[in-house]
Amino acid sequence: MIESIISYGLAMGAAYALIAVAYNVMFSTSRVFSFTAGALGMLGGVCGALFIDRLGLPGVVGLLATLAFCAVVGVVTEFVAVRPVLRSLDQHLYVLSTLALCLMIQQFTAIEWSTVPQPFPQLIPVDLLGIRERFWMPVVACVLVVGGLELLYRHSMIGRAFLAIAEDNFAARALGLPERGLRVASYALAGAIGGLAGFASGGIMLAFFANVSPFNFYGFIPVALGSIGNNRGAIVAGIALGLFQQAANFLVGGVFSSVAVFSVFIVALLIVPQGLFGAPPARRV
């Protein structure tokens, strides 16, 4: 039981954390929660199976093609569902536009791919330290993304530009930073991260059009729990969510594990509305 909780919990937690990071990366440059994050995760699994299983591409090529495709979907999201509604952010029209695009992607996948889960290929036929690929791959992907983002944000000009945009959009533009270009780049990056989440967890989630909903819902929980925009918080909250979900699966079982997860989520937000890693909002006097 403990082995199953840890293996499944860590793997799924890492996948949720990656989706949460994709949410955050898109949010940081646009102040938009794009619900295409779940669709990106789903596409990661479907594209991986398509490129490697059906088209016979080598695993690495299939991975790169998947990331490239999902990055393009990220860019399309920015153009189609985000840019047109940025001027009226306070009306939250992005909820409708990104959800609509997400549903379109999901339905298109259902029609063109399959309505039943399809197998995801095993890339490396040997276990790593006795751990099966489907369990270690999401964790490794998560570690690589965290490391990569740290390097990007702290040791590159473009990363610092991202942070500047995220910190103060108007000030960054006043300093001459190409805000639109950076936003498009952040959506491409988020697309690749979301696609990686689906690809890495494909062994567990399979290549299935209906994976959009679990990725969207469970991926959003670490965003809120880890404090919006905080990638480290999202990683910690994502891993905790995965472990708790799998433990609940054993303890209460069936559909009640989902109830347990969302109950704890609501209680946690009632206690710390700003998230576990966020500072309480300053009180205006």
Can residue 8 be called a binding residue for other proteins (CB under 8 A)?
Answer: yes
Contact flags string 22-61 toward other proteins, x per CB under 8 A: ----------------------------------------
Min. distance of Cβ 12 from other proteins in angstroms?
Answer: 7
Report the distance separating Cα 52 and Cα 73, nearest Å. 19
CA-to-CA separations, 100 to 22, 105, 183, 232, in angstroms, rounded: 18, 9, 20, 29
Min. distance of Cβ 50 from other proteins in angstroms?
Answer: 14
Min. distance of Cβ 230 from other proteins in angstroms?
Answer: 27
Among the candidate windows 142-150, 207-215, 228-236, 271-279, which touches other proteins by CB under 8 A? 207-215
User: Residue 70: which residues within 8 A CB-CB, separation 6 or more?
Assistant: 40, 43, 44, 47, 191, 192, 194, 195, 196, 198
Out of 19, 34, 249, 276, point to the residue binding other proteins (CB under 8 A): 249
Can residue 119 be called a binding residue for other proteins (CB under 8 A)?
Answer: yes
Phi and psi at 178, nearest 5°, equal -75, 85
Among the candidate windows 17-25, 81-89, 145-153, 209-217, which touches other proteins by CB under 8 A? 209-217
Out of 59, 68, 99, 118, point to the residue binding other proteins (CB under 8 A): 118
Report the distance separating Cα 266 and Cα 285, nearest Å. 29
Out of 88, 115, 263, 274, point to the residue binding other proteins (CB under 8 A): 115
User: Residue 246: which residues within 8 A CB-CB, separation 6 or more?
Assistant: 4, 5, 8, 9, 12
Among the candidate windows 80-88, 115-123, 163-171, 183-191, which touches other proteins by CB under 8 A? 115-123
Q: Within a 13 Å sphere around the CA of 28, how many CA atoms are in the beta-carbon half?
A: 28
Nearest 5°: the CA angle 38, 243, 123 is 60
Q: Which residues pair with 118 in a beta bridge?
A: 207
Closest CB to other proteins among residues 152, 206: 206
- 3 state SS of 131: strand
Q: What residues make contact with other proteins under the rule CB under 8 A?
A: 1, 4, 8, 12, 110-111, 114-119, 204-206, 208, 210-211, 213-214, 246, 249-250, 253-255, 258
